[in-house]
Amino acid sequence: MADKLIIVESPAKANTIKKFLGGNTKVLASMGHIRDLPKSKLGIDVEHNFEPEYINIRGKGDLIKTLKKEAKAAKKVYLATDPDREGEAIAWHLAHILEIPEDSVCRVTFNEITKETVQNSIKQPRKIDMNLTDAQQARRVLDRIVGYKMSPVLWKKVKRGLSAGRVQSVAVKLIVDREEEIEKFIPEEYWNIYVTLLEPNSKKKFLASLYGKEGKKLEIHTEEEVKQILNQIEKAKYQVTDVKKGEKKRTPAPPFTTSTMQQEASRKLGFTLKKTMSVAQGLYEGVHVGERGTVGLITYMRTDSTRISEEARAAAKNHIISKYGNSYYENRYYKTKQNAQDAHEAIRPTYIDLEPETIKNYLTNDQFKLYRLIYHRFIASQMAQAIYDTVSATIEANHYQFRSTGQTLKFKGFMALYVETLEGEKEEENTSIPELTVRQEVKKEKLESKQSFTLAPARYTEASLVKALEEKGIGRPSTYSPTITTILERRYIEKEQKQLVPTELGKIVNGLLVENFSDIINVEFTAKIEEEFDEVAEGKEPWKQVIREFYGPFEKQVEKVEKELEHVELIEEVSDIPCEKCGRMMVYKYGRYGKFLACPGYPECKNAKPIVETIEEPCPVCGGKVQVKKTKRGRKFYVCENNGTSCEYISWNKPKIGEVWTPEENKTKKTTKTKTRAKKASTKTKKTATRKKKE
Catalytic residues: 300
Contact 652, 671 (CB under 8 A): no
Give the integer Cα–Cα distance in Å for 426 and 422: 8
Contact 421, 267 (CB under 8 A): yes
For residue 610, the surrounding DSSP H or E stretch is: strand 608-610
539 Cβ contact partners less than 8 Å away, ≥ 6 residues apart? 131
Contact 20, 13 (CB under 8 A): no
Q: Which residues of 143-168 are buried (b: 16+ CB within 10 A; e: fewer)?
A: bbbbbbbbbbbbebbbbeebbbbbbb
682 Cβ contact partners less than 8 Å away, ≥ 6 residues apart? 629, 637, 639, 643, 650
> In degrees rounded to 5, what are phi and psi of residue 205?
-95, 150
Beta bridge partners of 245: 391
CA 344 to chain centroid, in Å, comes to 21
Supply the DSSP string of 421-442, one letter for each residue: --TTPPPP--B------TT-EE
> In degrees rounded to 5, what are phi and psi of residue 368?
-60, -45
Minimal CA–CA distance to 150: which of 659, 579, 565, 664?
Answer: 565
Minimal CA–CA distance to 608: which of 580, 636, 574?
Answer: 580
Q: How many other CB atoms are found less than 10 A from the CB of residue 388?
A: 18
HEC-encoded secondary structure of 440-453? CEEEEEEEEEEEEE
Cα separations (Å) of 383 from 247, 254, 257, 320, 328? 18, 11, 18, 7, 5
Hey, is 553 helix, strand or coil? helix
105 Cβ contact partners less than 8 Å away, ≥ 6 residues apart? 125, 126, 127
Supply the DSSP string of 303-346, one letter for each residue: -------HHHHHHHHHHHHHHH-GGGB-----PPPTT--TTS--
Burial of residue 233, with CB atoms counted within 10 A of its CB: 0-12 exposed, 13-18 middle, 19 or more buried: buried
Q: What is the DSSP letter of 649?
A: -
Hey, is 359 helix, strand or coil? helix
Give the integer Cα–Cα distance in Å for 5 and 117: 18
HEC-encoded secondary structure of 491-540? CCEEEECCEEEECHHHHHHHHHHHHHCCCCCCHHHHHHHHHHHHHHHCCC
Contact 12, 285 (CB under 8 A): yes
Number of helices followed by number of strands (H, E) in the chain? 18, 28
Cα dihedral 122/128/132/137 (nearest 10): 130
- Give the CA angle between residues 125, 126, 129 to the nearest 5°: 140
Contact 469, 560 (CB under 8 A): no
Minimal CA–CA distance to 104: which of 82, 133, 125?
Answer: 125
